[in-house]
Amino acid sequence: MPGAGAFPTAPVSPDAILLTTAWIRPDHAGGGLGRLLVQGMARDLVARRDGVRAVEAFARTGRAPVGGHEECVVPAEFLARVGFKTHRPHPRTPRMRMEMRSLATWRDEVEAAWERIVGAVRRPRPSPAPVPREARSPRPWGPGASRRTSLVRR
């Protein structure tokens, strides 16, 4: 990625791919869209199985100056909330890393939780046991009598 070498915590590890940026419109912030973006990226990377061991991102601490290049750098707090850990500390632009092993574990945990939720919602009801013939209530009409004749008053 052009310009990635200019970060004080460069270079990106050879076993990782670089998440360059993520952005959500301010009027949609706080609704979980950023988390969904990172989860989608993680799901796609786990499915690829091409030897990538981690995702790294240059992060920023504090607020970005408006109009500066740091505005495009993802906040470290956000990356930490979605599973990244500080790989190379720096006061302004730490390099964060999310291991693919943790993604696979995370995916397994999510799938297991989903199965528990679905199982709780769709809990099969046991079918009632058949009632033995002897325990059934007798018919108001006897053997060979029709319903019509047994219901007529005499």
Amino acid at 94: P
pLDDT value for 133: 74
Statement: residue 58 has pLDDT above 60: yes
H or E stretch at 112: helix 100-121
pLDDT at 144: 56
pTM here is 0.63
Distance CA 81, CA 39 (A): 12
Distance CA 132, CA 150 (A): 25
Domains of the chain in sequence order: 4-111 (3.40.630.30)
d(CA 98, CA 77): 14
For 34, the token pair is 């950023």
Judged against a pLDDT cut of 60, whether residue 76 lies above it is answered with yes
Mean pLDDT of 132-140: 67
What pLDDT is recorded for position 151?
A: 54
| More confidently predicted of 108 and 6 | 6
Give tens-digit pLDDT for 35-46: 999 988 888 888
pLDDT value of position 49: 73
